[in-house]
Amino acid sequence: MASNDDELKKKQMADARARNISRNVRCTDCGSQSIEDSQADIAILLRKLIRDEIQAGKTDKEVYKKLEDDFGETVLYAPKFDLQTAALWLSPLLVAGAAAGIWAYNRHRQKTNVHIMALNLVRGVPLTPKEKETMLDLLTPPPPQRPSPSSWWRRWRGQ
């Protein structure tokens, strides 16, 4: 009785391992589905191959390695980190770093704008209303000019 329970537990563990591996392997026909979710013939064969490898006593890493050797690295959902895939793995960090750099630069530029610094200086100085109005007119930067569609069209055509 105890051996039947042990056999059943081993079979359940092997099935759970096989399902876990199958969820991390891409169907070579479907592309967007794991072989666990796909009903393509190749997915069924790959699930059987995984179960056979597990029954043969292979570890999960060995099964993944065999699949990668037989079908290429694209069969795995999570490609390994190496020199060829470094750009793929690091691109989110590079994009986030560039965005943070642009944000910090714009923030710094706003704080060091000469017009804003001069306005802040003038605000603390006692001036007459006429002097304040004149200083504000002189120191307030003009609004940014957005090109109109017609001016853009003229520039594009070279006129």
What are the 10-residue block averages of pLDDT along the chain, 159 residues in total? 78 88 84 82 88 90 88 76 76 92 84 67 75 77 66 63
The per-residue pLDDT for 149 is 64
Domain ranges for the chain: 2-75, 86-142
0.75 surpassed by pTM: no
CATH of domain 2-75: 1.10.8.640
Are the CB atoms for 50 and 18 separated by under 8 Å?
A: yes
Count of other CB atoms within 10 angstroms of residue 65:
12
Question: In whole angstroms, what is the distance from residue 34 CA to residue 17 CA?
Answer: 15
Question: In whole angstroms, what is the distance from residue 27 CA to residue 46 CA?
Answer: 9
Q: Which residues touch 77 (CB under 8 Å, ≥6 apart)? A: 24, 25, 26, 34
